[in-house]
Amino acid sequence: MASIFTKIINGEIPCFKVAENDTFFAFLDINPLAKGHTLVVPKVEVDYIFDNDAATLSNIMIFSQKVAKAIEAVVPCERIGVAVLGLEVPHTHVHLVPINSIGDLDFRKPRVVLSKEEMAELADKIAAQL
Ligand code: AMP
């Protein structure tokens, strides 16, 4: 069965899209650790990041770099934290999270609640930087 992220990439489930190329897709995390929390996903569905081929594994970081720079331009922060967990969704994804301190990348902390309008505006602003 297709993962929820494959359904998002295929347009079957809505998302707040930030960027896309032939290989990767980026969209706002629906349950963000911080405003601007974005997921970068390869279009080919592979569960565990280290099971991807070498090109996908290296290129996901190059694509993530562009997205991270765009997030930084929109969301004031010390830097963009990078994390890969995959404990919830079995489809490789890189978390890009604006952070100011170590605790900002603690996935146990309460998530930020943003309205649909705020999420849409944020995604548009980040996309406009790309
Ligand atoms: P993990 O697999 O542990 O890296 O976590 C999966 C992440 O995907 C979580 O941060 C969720 O909030 C996020 N997520 C799950 N479903 C969606 C969705 N439909 N749209 C955007 N983000 C999602």
Domain boundaries of the chain, sorted by first residue: 4-129
What pLDDT sits at residue 1? 84
Closest atom of ligand 1 to CA, residue 29: 22
Q: Is the CB of 29 under 6 A from ligand 1?
A: yes
- The residue whose CA is least distant from atom 13 of ligand 1 is 29
Which residue(s) pair with 71 in the sheet? none
- The residue whose CA is least distant from atom 1 of ligand 1 is 86
Nearest to 41 by CA among 107, 87, 98, 91: 91
Nearest to 6 by CA among 130, 126, 93, 68: 93
Which residues fall within 8 angstroms of residue 119, CB to CB, at 6 or more apart?
A: 16, 28
Nearest to 33 by CA among 117, 123, 109, 116: 109
∠ Cα 128 96 44 (to 5°): 85
pLDDT, tens digit, for every residue of 4-57? 999 999 999 999 999 999 999 999 999 999 999 999 999 999 999 999 999 999
Is 0.95 surpassed by the pTM of this model?
A: yes
Q: Which CATH architecture has domain 4-129?
A: 2-Layer Sandwich (3.30)
Closest atom of ligand 1 to CA, residue 84: 4
Instruction: Determine the residue of 12, 60, 88 to mutate for testing ligand 1's pocket, defined as the one with the most ligand atoms within 8 A of the Cβ atom.
Output: 88
Which residues fall within 8 angstroms of residue 115, CB to CB, at 6 or more apart?
A: none
